[in-house]
Structures are given as C-alpha cells and as structure tokens.
Amino acid sequence: MEKLFVFDTTLRDGEQVPGCQLNTIEKIQVAQALENLGVDVIEAGFPVSSPGDFNSVVEISKAVTWPTICALTRAVEKDIDAAADALKFAKHKRIHTGIGTSPYHIQYKFNSTQEEILERAIACTKYAKRYVEDVEFYCEDAGRTDNEYLARVVEAVIKAGATVVNIPDTTGYCLPAEYGEKIRFLMENVKGIEKAVLSTHCHNDLGMATANTISGVLNGARQVEVTINGIGERAGNTSLEEVAMILKSHREIGIDTNINTRNIYPISRMVSSLMNMPVQPNKAIVGRNAFAHSSGIHQDGVLKNRESYEIIDPIDVGLDANTIALTARSGRAALKHRLQLLGVELNQDKLDKVYEQFLLLADRKKTITDDDVLLLAGKDRTESHRIKLEYLQVTSGVGVRPVASIGLNIAGEKFEAAASGNGPVDAAIKALKQIIRRKMTIQEFLIQAINRGSDDTGKVHMQVEHEGVNYYGFSANTDIIAAAVEAYIDAINKFVK
Ligand code: KIV
Ligand code: ZN
C-alpha cells in the first residue's frame, strides 16, 4: 500500500465559517483528537491574522507531539516571520505560503502579471526556507489556472525548496476528470516533481470536493487537505472521513492513510458540538442517518446479512451499536466513559459539575444523547460571563398577550424587569432590554432540535447587531424560550464588558 498524507485544516480553513470560531482551549482539544485520529499534518491557523490565531498556533505546537504543525501565510515577509515565530515550539513544523495564480487573482486581485507573480512565488518560498525545512506552497485558485503556467510555478517553487505543492480548487469549480488531468499534467510535465509531494485542496461549491480529491489522488497527488465533517467557508472543504473511508473500502486503489477510522465518529461529534455546527442527517459516514435503514426491505436484508445493504461496518467508524444508553440512573463512571468515547477528558471537579447538570437534564429527558453530553461538558463556557440569567418566567398561550419577567445578575448585582410582547421570546427580550439599555437588534435567530421527540434539547444560534458589528450567541436548553434568551445573553456578553 502506498501512503497518502492527511493534512487536516479544520482549525484553519474549517474554522473560517462565520460564527463557528473556537477559543484556544477548544482548538487544543480538537488538535489532540486529530493527533489520536492519526492525521499527518495539522494546519493550526494563520498567525499574522490575529493575536488569537497566533496564540493558538503556539499552544497547539506545545500540546501535540507527532503531527507536523503547519501555519498559513500570504506571500508576504511579515506573515512568514509571524508564522515562524508562532511555530517555535512545534516538534515538526511547516510553513504554508503561496499566492493566487489564476487570471482572476493576477489581474483583479493583484493588478499584476504572470511573470511578477512567478517572482513573488519564488521569493516567498526562499524566504520561508530560511526558517524551516518543510515549506508548502499553494497556488491559490489553481483550479482555474492554465495548466502550462501552473506547471511553470510548480517547477519554480520546487526549485526554490518547496517540499509540498498545494493545487487548490479554491472556488470548487473543477470537474473530477478535469482536476485529475491537472494533477497528471503536473506529474508528467514538471521537472523535479519527484522532489515534492502534490497536494489536493478541494472546495465543495458544486458538491464535488471529495470526487475531485480522489481524482487527484488517482492521478498522483499524495497529500489531501481535508476537514472534519467537511466544514469550511461556503459549501465547505473535502471531508476527511469520506476520503479515509473511500480508501479503506476500495483496497484495489492500493493507497492508504494513517487514519484510525474508529476515532472518526467521536471527533465528528466533538467538532460539531464545539463549533455549534450540526451535521446534516444524511451526511456520508457521520450523519445520523448514515447507517439507519428505515425501509422494511433494507432492515430485513441487513438483519440477514449486514453486507447486503451496508458497505461499511458502523463499528469501523466508531459507532458502537452496543453503547449503553445514558439515563437518570447512570452513574459518574458511565458518563465519564461516554465522554472519553467522545474524546473529552475531564478532571474530577469538572466531571462532578457536569454530572450534576446531567442529572438535572436526565430528569427532564428520557435518554441523554451524545450531543446532550457534549453540550453539558461545554457548559462552563458561560461561567466567566459578566451578565448571567438568574431566572425567567414566561406566560403565553392562545388568546393571551405573552408576558415575561426576568432576573439578571450583572457582575454580582441583581436586576429585574417585566414586559409583554408579541411572543414569549419577544416579551423576554423586551424585559431584558429594560435592564441593558443598548441599541441592539437580532439579525439571525435559528432554533433547532438536536434529535427527535418532544423532550429534546433545542439549540439556538443567534446573531445580535450592535454598533454595526454582529455578535454570535449560542445556547441549548430543553426549554426553547430559555435557550433563546440565553443565546441572546451569550451574544451581548461579547460586547458589554
Ligand atoms: O482554498 C484555498 O485556496 C486556500 C488556500 C489559502 C490554501 O485555502
Ligand atoms: Zn481553502
């Protein structure tokens, strides 16, 4: 079996999704889970873009041992300086630098020429090489770059020292055959190609990211850039779990990854929960329905022989059919075990607190799901908040005007107010606005049930606008009115300091 390198960019390209940003502690948690999953490279961030990103690259470099830690830059010296500085603690490090090579980028973004861009590509590769041996160069929008010119750029950067060359289909435009031909063209026409690895980086705008990635691999690429659950800006990136399971299911391809596929499901849940990004139920490999057979004919077939309708054994992706259901009677050990399966390690103190919350929730819900458990484990994200909800009482129904009374604790001081509105959430928010007298408007308000059943936990995502800036808030609660108010408070905590 030939080896395919897996480059995970969940924490860089994946994390660019508006409203899904992680803090450094959460990023470390994901990076450690990626290490356990067996990825070869973790793209940890874009250090020059913000102090937060810089710090995350530093901390992930300290927290992770085996995978190479990679930092993104533009073809700009100060970006490369920042990346080198952020990577100082990494045991294996890589700088990922590059520039747009398509006519759209050269003419409109840079108002430049092909020759000037070629010079900048060589210069930034050489500059990065001063700091690290392992330099990856990206030809942004390679998908729409003419193959002859692309080959000149790839050849020049390999000569300048690039160890990996990334061929991104930045806009998700290519057809699988076209993307595969591009990789083949480079493999056959670039002098010195054997000194570097070609990498795929496919976006999913037309739903072809995984197909394009596999086509690239079949034509000679030996690194794939992917994210957990395929998250990423717009329609997302290629999903790691799909590529890993395609290669595992099609042994005849003769290419394998280092991915421990049994860790796929836990990390999928972890990323979805930390980023508050639900996985679509019919998502391949990790969607809730990926292994659920509802038609009678299918159920009958699977019971007789699983392989009649299933090409993947759910156990191979970490879905354990025998997982013990968590209920109000489950003990701390069962909760701890489930958290460990989901990739979350808690100290005794934190486990006790989560267990308390777990029992309260279990009193309200028959069965506690993995999503519930992950939400409980992340609950203390609000502990440092200046504004906290003390109580909320709402009266609403048919033929009455909804009324809400609310109690807030603001930096230790208690405030109360009451108001009516055209619905229970409106009434509660009007009451809250009598206490916090800022100009703020809800721009987006999304309520989702996580699983099914009337006792389910509802998740609320909210965007609140204040002085021209949108602030994101999130909460989950079996009471959806409370979840809405908590999400609103989560958002305003980000600007009321
Ligand atoms: O999609 C893209 O082109 C990228 C590069 C910055 C690598 O993410
Ligand atoms: Zn990208």
Q: Is 170 in the pocket of ligand 1 (CB under 6 A)?
A: yes
Q: Does residue 440 form part of some domain? A: yes
Distance CA 285, CA 317 (A): 8
Which CATH number belongs to the domain containing residue 478 in this structure?
Answer: 3.30.160.270
For residues 474, 479, 484 and 485, what is the CA-based torsion angle, rounded to 10 degrees? Answer: -100
The residue whose CA has the least distance to atom 1 of ligand 1 is: 170
Out of 241, 274, 307, pick the residue that ends a domain: 274
Whole-number pLDDT of residue 297 = 62
3-state SS record for 169-215: ECCCCCCHHHHHHHHHHHHHHCCCHHHCEEEEEEECCCCCHHHHHHH
Give the total number of structural domains in the chain: 4
Q: Are 73 and 48 in contact (CB under 8 A)?
A: yes
Question: Do 72 and 197 share a domain, yes or no?
Answer: yes
Beta bridge partners of 169: 202
Counting other chains too, the contacts that 324-328 makes at CB distance below 8 Å and 24 or more residues apart are: 325/367, 326/358, 326/362, 326/367, 326/368, 326/373, 327/362, 327/366, 327/367, 327/368, 328/359, 328/362, 328/363
How does strand 458-466 pair with strand 469-477? Answer: antiparallel
pLDDT tens, per residue, the chain with 497 residues: 999 999 999 999 999 887 778 888 889 999 999 999 999 999 999 999 999 999 999 999 999 999 999 999 999 999 999 999 999 999 999 999 999 999 999 999 999 999 999 999 999 999 999 999 999 999 999 999 999 999 999 999 999 999 999 999 999 999 999 999 999 999 999 999 999 999 999 999 999 999 999 999 999 999 999 999 999 999 999 999 999 999 999 999 999 999 999 999 999 989 988 887 888 889 999 987 887 655 556 556 666 676 776 788 888 998 865 456 688 888 888 888 888 777 678 889 989 989 998 998 888 777 787 778 878 887 566 667 899 999 999 999 999 999 999 999 999 999 999 999 999 999 999 999 999 999 999 988 888 776 667 777 788 888 888 888 878 788 888 899 999 999 999 889 888 86
Whole-number pLDDT of residue 314 = 87
The number of the ligand nearest the C-alpha atom of 233 reads 2
Question: Do 159 and 10 share a domain, yes or no?
Answer: yes
Question: Do 264 and 352 share a domain, yes or no?
Answer: no
Q: Is 43 in the pocket of ligand 1 (CB under 6 A)?
A: no
Which CATH number belongs to the domain containing residue 173 in this structure?
Answer: 3.20.20.70
Q: Is 13 in the pocket of ligand 1 (CB under 6 A)?
A: yes
Beta bridge partners of 43: 70
Question: Do 35 and 149 share a domain, yes or no?
Answer: yes
The number of the ligand nearest the C-alpha atom of 166 reads 1
Question: Do 254 and 351 share a domain, yes or no?
Answer: no
Atom of ligand 1 lying closest to residue 72 CA: 6
The candidate with the shortest Cα–Cα distance to 276, out of 418, 444, 120, is 444
Whole-number pLDDT of residue 452 = 64
Whole-number pLDDT of residue 380 = 60
Distance CA 44, CA 54 (A): 9
The residue whose CA has the least distance to atom 7 of ligand 1 is: 138
Q: Are 135 and 124 in contact (CB under 8 A)?
A: no
Question: Do 375 and 411 share a domain, yes or no?
Answer: no
Q: Are 479 and 459 in contact (CB under 8 A)?
A: no
* 95, 138, 212: residue to mutate for ligand 1 pocket, most atoms within 8 A of CB: 138
Question: HSE-up of 351 (CA within 13 Å, CB side)?
Answer: 15
* 201, 204, 213: residue to mutate for ligand 1 pocket, most atoms within 8 A of CB: 201
Question: Do 349 and 401 share a domain, yes or no?
Answer: no
Question: Do 467 and 396 share a domain, yes or no?
Answer: yes
Question: Do 54 and 114 share a domain, yes or no?
Answer: yes
Whole-number pLDDT of residue 235 = 94
Question: Do 124 and 81 share a domain, yes or no?
Answer: yes
Token pair recorded at residue 416? 């109360």
- Spell out which residues have Cβ within 5 A of ligand 2, the ion: 13
Question: Do 364 and 421 share a domain, yes or no?
Answer: no
Q: Does residue 286 form part of some domain? A: no
Atom of ligand 1 lying closest to residue 140 CA: 3
Distance CA 455, CA 365 (A): 6
Q: Show the domain range for 117.
A: 2-274
